[in-house]
Amino acid sequence: MAKLSAESVRKENMITLASAHAVYIETARRLAGQKGLEAVGEANRLHGLELGEEAVRAGYMRKGDLHSLFEMFDGSSPYFGFELSVIKSSDDVLEMKVTYCPWIETFKKKGAGKDICTWLCKMDEGIGQAVDPTVRMTLLKCMMRGDEFCIYRWEKHADDRKT
């Protein structure tokens, strides 16, 4: 029997994870329509918030520092396989470009809707909210929607800040 490489295990894990995401999101769509998708999106956001809070506690991200989001995602790239870079980083905005996503082909093979990333990436919004609770994330471009790359934008919203 051939020995598995770390890279082959990483790739298979990403296929498994992408398949699981496609299954639960498409099941919510089929059984509960828009309301189901919104519920999954909110569950993903809350899970992301938990993940983000743990990342802040562990020192992988810093409260109030949006650029630390990129640092955390970039640091995890070897384990997940995403290829990403910063487009813009300021006190109030972080824009990140993803040029390779290890999940896209699996999403397509599983028949996932072009909006799957809208619901899945709510997790990334929650991670950002661990850095600053006023952060909202938008997916400006998305490979699943046919764009050449993805652009994520996290932005602090002053109207959400408590005075």
- Residue 160 pLDDT: 55
Could you tell me if residue 97 is inside a domain? yes
**pLDDT beyond 70 at 152:** yes
Tell me the two tokens of residue 148. Answer: 């050449």
What confidence category does residue 161 fall into, taking pLDDT thresholds of 50, 70 and 90?
very low
Is residue 89 within 8 Å of 70, Cβ to Cβ? yes
**Amino acid letter, 107:** F
Tell me the two tokens of residue 21. Answer: 């995401």
Helices (H) then strands (E): counts for the chain: 5, 4
In this structure, the number of other CB atoms found within 10 A of the CB of residue 97 comes to 16
Give the mean pLDDT of the chain: 95
Could you tell me if residue 78 is inside a domain? yes
Could you tell me if residue 1 is inside a domain? no
Could you tell me if residue 137 is inside a domain? yes
Q: What is the Cα–Cα distance from 20 to 97, expressed in whole angstroms?
A: 24
pLDDT, tens digit (0-9, with 9 covering 90-100), for 57-70: 999 999 999 999 99
Residue with tokens 């082959």: 8
Domain that holds residue 148: 6-160
Find the CATH number of the domain harbouring 154.
3.30.1380.20
Number of structural domains in the chain: 1
